[in-house]
A and B are shown apart, each in its own frame.
Chain A
């Protein structure tokens, strides 16, 4: 059978075209044809559907498709997964025989696609999966653990600013005796943030997650609190920056307008965009404070400058914004260090980047 199997690249191209055109039927046909040609469902999901999803994100970041196209393509891709999952019973894999797990996104996380893939792969491998999806409030996640007695929670996070919420979810699940396997970009390429937050395991991808589960995760016993994992939090810098977020944004905005006369001509929408960008900066600063890791902040600035360069966004000095922020953080030694590290990384990289960007 596999001799006639078309290579992944061919299927990827076909699926990419279908999702870009928003043609659900063509997209579903591509994967069904793949199945008929001898592809395994798991390989189709991970080597074709996931690869196309990655391309959707990359094309959006490079400004080659619009946000609407990105959303539409993602929605079609999700329907492709559903079509694969809800095939007639004859084509389905064996019924669950391994154990029961919960797959969920961090509270506030809207990127459900990676979690969805993991859920389907685990189902294919014989796990009973409760998929809670995007934006799951931590209280729901914990209540679900009381209801179901999962063997593990698989927690997906894409955006680093959700790490504090991820930490709350990890400690809450462990407090009820359920181990947590973390995954997704938010936890760092090497999973270092998963370790820092005390997760019971980390997996780089869906196959890794399945392998970690099959190896078995021990039940956590000791009850911990956030500050046990991250003792630096007692300096209250994270708390105070989060509390003062709106005030900080307002202050930086006012000072920027004083220094850049052009900004005074901004209309409300432009002003709001700039304020939103400042919110992202402060949010990433807060996360860097939470993790005590300046890399979180500098990586965000680097990514932002790349996206902005791709969009040819007009230039205001991001560095000036950081300077003003630094002035506001006089009494915050850790915060100051992080902002300065960010400014240094920026001046070493892109010379002059605008105060713009979103953390989509």
Chain B
């Protein structure tokens, strides 16, 4: 059909028919009648002049008429591979559904689809015998913007996820695992993370897409991998296009990679001022090579991974130092010695610490005939500074072990040592010398400004050891009185710090746990093994506190075992 047909021939009739129904693109001139129905379309601009493509499809779905923009548009369609003379499939489908269900209002949202490399929405006019006029509105720009927004959102989500996942763990091996897996998942077909060498060996973590990360250590020359030496030294990255995949040493390509490597990125992992390692990304030859965009994203990823790794490394270095320094300050694990049971439990003032101002130690006698020397004490204050002083006191007491049988002398020497040190803190403590006599346990107990030990008798009586004295580290001299006690089998002597009795809480929230409640609790503990008593006292104090704050709490039990194996005197549990 000619493109002038609607002006001169019979097809024009169709247009008129349409024009009556469709709000034609007519610019009413001043004085035009208000109803388009009455407008003489032949004299004004017609739909043919519309700037949007307009296509008239007949009942069979073939093009009955079209305007010049539509002609151009369809030319694109045909250039793009569509059959000549036909409309795009999506438009044909929309047309069919419209003509098949004549009485149904057009589907919402409107039909839309691609024509050539552009994108259109199609709005139909009413259905007539002659067909339907389809107005096509170009959406290419919006679609592209939407797609780009969608991509950007996806990337942002990936980045956020990558960041939070990378930063989650402060464990170096875990961190390298996560980084390698994420890189293989989002950036490449396989990823390798190479840590800076320790000695001449590198730790290499590798992962295939969707697979687990595996750690290996190997010795190699970083210069054998193009770009790796530079990356490990923190030089600017070598562009992916400069790296020849064929030049990669064999170990770089993980087992199961499947096929030759097509493109490679070697990205440095910048740490906090030093290189945290390098990331090698591999893409199979069958896949598309890395685009500059992807390369930029890979570098960003590497930067995040480097920060996370560097933080994890710092943390593990610091915590290794702390652990080493703290080892000497931690309360010892207690067990049975020379036929006497010892049990202790310590709870630091704050839940994130393990040490504080309370301490205890058990120094076994050279053999069963020698007394075991026990100390439990409390340095004024809490936290690390108090803990450091407990370490000093424990060391000093350790050095004085040869004098341990003379409590007064030990305390006098300790007092002198504390007064002459730069610490201004003082301490209270209880010393106990413990020896076994047949099935009984003989104790000499000395309190230096500390709560006297409590003795839990087999019949449920709870007695206070008759010892008292001045604290150490404050006055020029120390005066103390030592008490002697005997534990029958099943009896326990309990040493504790004021963190227990001064625990504040209870059902009404503001009471001290107090010595009365402690004694009451101990009455119920008659006959229990020492470790059960210690646990129960700590439990009751903790429950009394509820969620409230507290001081350091230390409890130590010295017990005469209730039952003894044949040949008592030797420790029965050391049979391994």
Contacts and interface: CB of A to CB of B under 8 A. Distances in A.
A174 to B, nearest CB: 9
Interface in B496-526: 506-510, 520, 524-526
Given A71-B536, A143-B319, 9 more contacts: A22-B529, A68-B525, A68-B526, A83-B573, A110-B535, A137-B351, A139-B352, A146-B171, A176-B170
Nearest to A136: B351
Contacts of B535: 71, 110, 134
Nearest to B510: A246
Interface string A24-59: 110000000000000000000000000000000000
A81 B377 CA distance: 32
A22 B171 contact: no
Contact of B572 (A25, A68, A110, A140): A25
A177 B528 contact: no
A145 B169 contact: yes
Interface stretch (A192-200, A272-280, A322-330): A272-280
Contacts of B168: 175-177, 223
Secondary structure dominating the interface of B: loop
Given A71-B532, A72-B527, A75-B529, A24 B563 contact: yes
8 contacts: A71-B525, A83-B573, A88-B576, A108-B542, A134-B535, A137-B351, A147-B319, A177-B169
A276 B507 contact: yes
Contacts of B531: 75
A90 B161 CA distance: 49
A87 B165 CA distance: 42
Contact of B546 (A25, A87, A110, A245): A245
Counting chain B residues whose Cβ lies within 8 A of the other chain, the interface size class is 35 or more
Contacts of A245: 509, 546
B32 interface: no
Nearest to B527: A68
A67 interface: yes
B248 interface: no
Given A24-B563, A137-B351, A250 B508 contact: yes
B562 interface: yes
A105 to B, nearest CB: 12
Contacts of B178: 177
Nearest to A275: B507
Contacts of B563: 21-25
Interface residues of A, number: 48
Interface in B170-190: 170-171, 173-174, 178
B164 interface: yes
Contacts, number: 108
Contact of A246 (B173, B174, B508): B508
Contacts of A68: 524-528
A249 interface: yes
B475 interface: no
A323 B539 CA distance: 31
A149 B174 contact: yes
Interface in B344-373: 347, 351-352, 354
Nearest to A274: B507
B565 A25 contact: yes
A86 B170 CA distance: 33
A148 B526 CA distance: 41
A22 B531 CA distance: 13
Contacts of B507: 246, 249, 272, 275-276, 278-279
B258 to A, nearest CB: 25
A102 interface: no
Interface string A1-38: 00000000000000000000111110000000000000
Given A22-B562, A140-B352, A246 B509 contact: yes
A135 interface: yes
Nearest to B520: A269
Contacts of A23: 563
A236 interface: no
Nearest to A358: B543
Nearest to A282: B507
A225 interface: no
A221 interface: yes
Interface in A58-101: 66-68, 71-72, 74-76, 79, 83, 86-88
Most interface-central of A110, A175, A250 (chain B CB within 10 A): A110
B315 interface: yes
Contact of A135 (B171, B508, B542): B542
A22 B352 contact: no
Q: Closest 5 CB pairs between A and B?
A: A246-B509, A275-B507, A137-B351, A139-B352, A146-B170
